[in-house]
Amino acid sequence: MNLFDRMLWVIAFRSLMQHRLRTLLLGSAIAGVTALLVTLTGAFVGIKTTLLVSATTLMSGHVNVAGFYKSSPTSAAPVVTNYKKVREIIAKEVPELDYVVQRGRGWAKLVSESGSQQVGIGGIDINHEPGFRKVVQIKEGKFEDLEKPNAMLIFEAQARKLGVKVGDTMTIVAPTFRGTNNTLDVTLVAIAADIGMLSSWNTFMNDQGLRQLYQLNDETTGALQLYLKDIEQVKPVQERLRKVLAAGGFELLDPDPRPYFAKFDSVNRENWTGQKLDVTNWEDETSFVQWIVTALTVLATMVIVALVAIIGVGIMNVMWISIRERTREIGTLRAVGMQRGSVMAMFMAEGTLLGFMGTVGGGVLGVLLSVGLTQAHISLPPSWQFIFFSERLVISPTAFWVFFSVGFITAAITAISIIPSFLAARLKPITAMSHVG
């Protein structure tokens, strides 16, 4: 930056300081919008992070190797036979792997003395589930009791609906393809805190119990959930797995980015029998809840655009006032030899500076607000928990989104200041110097 450019910034800064009250009011409005944007983006990151953690822990892993076994063309069962061989291939071919768990999959009616509910059942080996223990918070009972045969874990809302407490017995009724029902009595050993929408239909039980329910052998499971050291590696790992599993003699379903329960119809329409594996990722398996993030993004974008537009009108008005007050100054500067481009740059610098000061203040405010709200452990109402995938409000402002908010709003304000700056620059020196007022 040469000295002349620096002088333009000096003029811009001092002009803003000369009208402190006006600058403060407008700067505060800009700061408010920026803080809101930082908080909203923090909330999205919080939702996405919670979704990622809860979805990958409860349902999918980062990469999911599952599939269907069909004894007849129209009887798809969501199981992986010979899963130990699949697991060996994964261990050999995926160095990015942190750990892998096997989960049984079931869909059944859970019946208590006072009610019933249709639920998804995950069969887990609690001794090999490091992530599960971190994410799921036990409100009543103990994780360790899931080691017991026919032990079950459900979530708080489900327990309320079913009217059960730890120690109660319930019955699982699972329909079979033959039109009959398999039933199994289970004992409720733990009630966990709700994890938003995903915990509304997920339950977990001892994996041996689930095998017993569906009469599966020890070589069979529902899915292998892979947890990677770096989640950015999901796509390459997914692609590699498809190749190595095919090379290992496994047949695979065509890539289909939908959760497994949405594929029954299409799989049942395909004319094959036997086992086919399906390699998906966490986003595929949670695509049915991604609409929440999309809807919130659209909503927040509309709010931000509306707020920026309102701020824009304010900026435009202030620039007009500033230009009107300084018209004679513009005339003088043009008379002493300032080119139009420099006049425009001077006023744009004022807009940019105002925007930058406001947004930086707003960025800091937004981070403090986000941290404060998160630290306050504010309990969310049930309907909000459903959307936020959490009992409590979690806002996670990230450096990227803070810088984005500062940059975006500063850029918007700079863009808004182009019009008045351009018109100021177009003023003829004689017209500007003759200005009265």
Partner 1 sequence: MSAIVTIQDVVKEYNLGATVVQALRGVSLTVDKGEFISIAGPSGSGKTTLLNLIGCVDTATRGRVEVAGKNTAELSERELTDLRLNTIGFIFQSFNLVSVLTVFQNVEFPLLLQNKLNAKERKARVEALLEQVGLLTHQKHRPNELSGGQRQRVAIARALVTDPLIVLADEPTANLDSETGQAILDLMKSLNQQKGTTFIFSTHDHRVMRYANAVVRLADGKVLGRESPEDAVAHAMGLETPKHAEVRTP
Of the candidates 195, 189, 425, the residue with the CA atom closest to the CA atom of residue 326 = 425
Q: Does 340 bind partner 1 (CB under 8 A)?
A: yes
Per CB under 8 A, the list member of 25, 299, 306, 430 interacting with partner 1 is 430
Pairing of strands 202-206, 116-124: parallel
Return the number of the residue (200 or 342) whose C-beta is nearest partner 1.
342
Q: Is 102 helix (H, G, I), strand (E, B) or coil?
A: strand
Stretch that binds partner 1, among 15-23, 231-239, 289-297, 397-405 (CB under 8 A): 15-23
Shortest Å distance, C-beta 62 to partner 1: 57
**Among 281, 360, 395, which Cα is nearest to 35's?**
360
Question: DSSP string spanning 8-72?
Answer: HHHHHHHHHHHTHHHHHHHHHHHHHHHHHHHHHHHHHHHHHHHHHHHHIIIII-SEEEEEEEESS
Structure tokens at 265: 């119809």
Among 339, 372, 376, 411, indicate the residue that binds partner 1 (CB under 8 A): 339
Instruction: State yes or no: residue 298 binds partner 1 (CB under 8 A).
Output: no
Residue 73 gets which letter from DSSP? T
* Per-residue binding letters, 341-360, with partner 1 (x by CB under 8 A): -x------------------
Q: Does 3 bind partner 1 (CB under 8 A)?
A: yes
> How many residues lie near partner 1 (CB under 8 A)?
27
Residue appearing with tokens 């996670």? 396
Token reading at 360: 């930086």
Residue 20 sits in the site that holds partner 1 (CB under 8 A): no
Radius of gyration of the chain (CA): 30
Shortest distance (Å) from residue 355 CB to partner 1: 19
In terms of CB distance, is 19 or 392 closer to partner 1? 19
- What are 379's strand-pairing partners? 392
Could you give the string, one character per residue 318-337, with x where binding to partner 1 holds by CB under 8 A and - elsewhere? ----------xx-xxxxxxx
**Helix/strand/coil for 341:** helix
Min separation Cβ 333 and partner 1, Å: 7
Contact region with partner 1 (CB under 8 A), list: 62-70, 110-118, 309-317, 422-430:
422-430
By the criterion CB under 8 A, which residues form the site for partner 1? 2-4, 7, 10-11, 14-15, 17-18, 328-329, 331-340, 342, 428-430, 433
